[in-house]
Amino acid sequence: MTELKQRIIGALYFIPFIIGTIAGQPYLGVTIGALQVLMAYELAKLIGSSQKAVIMLAALFVLTALSSQISVFGLSPLLLSALLTALCFVIIVVKARFAIALFATAVLLCLSNLSVLITLPNAVSLLVSLCLIVTAVDIAAYFVGRAVGGKKLAPSISPGKTISGAIGGLIGAMLMAYIASPYISDIYPNSLILGLVLGILAQAGDLYESAFKRRVGVKDSSNFIPGHGGFLDRFDGYIFIIPLVVAMIATA
């Protein structure tokens, strides 16, 4: 099976999630919650050394991901989320290495900020727009990289990526951001600049996850999606994007 066919088949697994997102609340909350659980489990599996450790870490990660919507002991949801994220960081540093804890923290910040994003009035249009922009990055980078080729972007991390593909991905992100500008103006008014930034962050997240997997010696975060790995592998482009978008909207 060719890589393109694998990508198409893998995309079919996301149809229920796409439908759940477009349908809005309460289906949006269920959809995002399911993704958070799946990615938290994959993250725990990458870090945990035993089945018990994976279950305990996964439970803590899920709680952290959802804590931005929970108020406990008078703590605000965002403060609770920050405290739990810090707790996860400390636990993982004690049990593993700093680089592993840093990656886990980045993913948890993404997941917890995702809980904040879905509460916004325009959550559906924002999520769909971000999804289209990140997808445009992937598609443009894939086809431009194959057509043009040239020097590798980061051969020691991801041998298949080229500089030409990365540039193509940035152009794809800017074009899609321009098309989606009516729906993302709350993030930043200049859609082309926003598209450029999101394109850079999407590819940075992809490379960061690839580097982390190489460090821990695994190819995929899981085998949930045949031929594609796990959900964390498919959503690595959002690791840095979601926290930035929430921060920019909050400070606008």
Q: Tell me what pLDDT residue 7 has.
A: 63
What pLDDT, on a 0 to 100 scale, did the predictor assign at position 28?
A: 92
Q: Say what the pLDDT of residue 227 is.
A: 63
Residue 224, both tokens: 């949930």
Contact 96, 63 (CB under 8 A): no
How do residues 66-125 score in pLDDT, each as one tens digit?
Answer: 888 877 777 788 888 888 999 999 988 887 889 899 999 999 999 999 999 999 999 999
Low-confidence ranges of the chain (pLDDT < 70): 1-11, 226-228
d(CA 38, CA 30) in angstroms, rounded, equals 12
Q: Mutual orientation of helices 123-148 and 241-251 as an angle, nearest 10°?
A: 140
Q: Which two tokens stand for residue 135?
A: 């997808």
Residues 6+ apart with CB under 8 A from 74: none
- Enter the pTM of the model: 0.90
